[in-house]
Amino acid sequence: MSALWVNILVILALGAAFIVTSWYISRKVSTADDYISGNGKLGVAFGTTSLLAFWVTGNTIMAAPEAAYGMGAIGAIAYSFLGGVAVVAFSPLGKRIHAIIPNGKTIGDFYKNRFDKKNYYFFLLMVFIYIFGLLMTQGIGGGLLLEQTFHIPYELAVVLTFLIVIIYASMGGFSSVTGIAFFQVMLIFVVVIVVPPIVYFTTGVAPVYEGIQKLAPEKLDLLLPSGILFMFAGAMMGIGEVFMDNTFWQRAYAVRKEKLMSIFSLAGIGWFFVPLATATLAFVAIGTGQAPEQVNQVAPYIAEIYGGEFVSWVFLVGVWSALASTIAAILNSLVSLILNDVYKSINPNADNNKLLKMAKGLTVVIGILALLISLPKFLTMLQMLIFLGVINAAFVFPIIYGLFWKKLNADVSFWAAILAVIGGYIAYYTIGSLQGVVVSGWISFLVCWVGSMVKPANYDWEQLYRVGTIPEVTRK
């Protein structure tokens, strides 16, 4: 049997383990609500691992070394800052969500009831673009990883990744995704703990440092302008991504209320060290003068050269698990958003069996669409994240002000998001990609603040509190 087929069988075996586990978990899923939000409240352990399994993505492990390779030490720190701060920042939002909209299911419930229809539909349009873009980055990551490490053709690698995820994610929905996440996080942390030390035992820390000083001393500059810009733009991008991503709202509702702050804070702190560890592989590439064919292949490329076959396999299993967990979580998140905020509006009388069947069908259809758009290599993973970051930054302040400030006017919120997206992409194409993210965030902030001071609203929080309850229920 050829090495290619052995490698394919390894992936199929790992996928089969996920599928069997998902089948076992899915036996307890009997309603559409179980499928999109689970059938119980998650504690600290499963809540934290569920967040980490989603948020430690292929981008975390593949794009963080790309950032470090391009911007040096400050690029690695900035990428870690991007996601860790964002998850910790969601903690007070999650607490506020539980307080003012305790019976909601998705971020769509918030947007639909806090603002008006034009805000709601524009947000849905933007979030669908963002989610499909994020799915594309994970598909590209899976394809590049299997191509570089296992020499499986890119297109076949993308198909294998998506088909396995579609099968196991469609079985039990949220319950399957969170149940398998615990084991996927363990595999991810094996990569973080095992791979960088083995690589550095082979190369030596001092030779790598001396090589960087000789070949690219600017990569050691912690005040490198491009890195500082990436740190602040990345923080805005990461916070926007977390705040508008329905996956985080799902987990905010799925965890125990009294444990929410602890879970999100632990997940944010834990996440910080993952990209920082994998980004160190880029320093080996810089210090030894190694240059991969594609910059977002730098991590598996270095793991293969200096770690040998064993490290390559460990890296593959861990990173592929991260990709699979993120794709599954995104699919379930998008399905829950469509089912709860679109399909129920079109067919409000649908019974539970029909809703459950529709949810599973949507998982398959969306997964296949994501597979197809991942086949072309439009941008690198980091480039795609920054491109989507313009959209993410535009919704940071409508969400923050919308949750905490009753003066935020619905018309102001709408124009803040519209102008931020337009202004951000103008800056993206005329000034620079990271500048586009910063401009988008500033426009969103200023329009929300100034507009609501000029034309303040007086929003009644009871409208959100009654979401998901019978009409006569009010807060006591």
45, pLDDT greater than 70: no
According to DSSP, residue 341 is labeled: I
The pLDDT value recorded for residue 23 is 87
Angstrom CA distances, 413 to 76, 106, 270, 424, 449, stand at 34, 19, 33, 16, 10
> Per the confidence metrics, is the pTM higher than 0.85?
no
In this prediction, residues 228-240 reach a mean pLDDT of: 87
- pLDDT tens sequence across 123-179: 999 988 888 888 888 888 778 777 766 778 888 888 888 999 999 888 888 778 777
472, pLDDT greater than 80: no
- pLDDT tens sequence across 165-186: 999 888 888 778 777 777 777 7
Compute the mean pLDDT over every residue in the chain, rounded to the nearest whole number: 84
> Which of the pair, 113 or 190, is modelled with greater confidence?
113
CA geometry: angle at 288 spanning 282 and 289, to 5°?
A: 85
Confidence bin at 332 (pLDDT 50/70/90): confident
The pLDDT value recorded for residue 50 is 65
In this prediction, residues 251-270 reach a mean pLDDT of: 80
CA–CA distance, 62 with 9 (Å, rounded to integer)? 23
The pLDDT value recorded for residue 284 is 92
Task: Specify the range with the lowest mean pLDDT, choosing from 192-206, 302-316, 452-466.
Answer: 302-316
The pLDDT value recorded for residue 378 is 66
Q: What percent of the chain has pLDDT over 90?
A: 20
Tell me the DSSP string of 77-114. Answer: HHHHHHHHHHHHHHHHHHHHHHHH-TT--SHHHHHHHH
Contacts (Cβ under 8 Å, ≥6 apart) of 58: 137, 138, 141, 142, 145, 319, 322, 323, 326, 381
255, pLDDT greater than 90: no
Confidence bin at 474 (pLDDT 50/70/90): very low
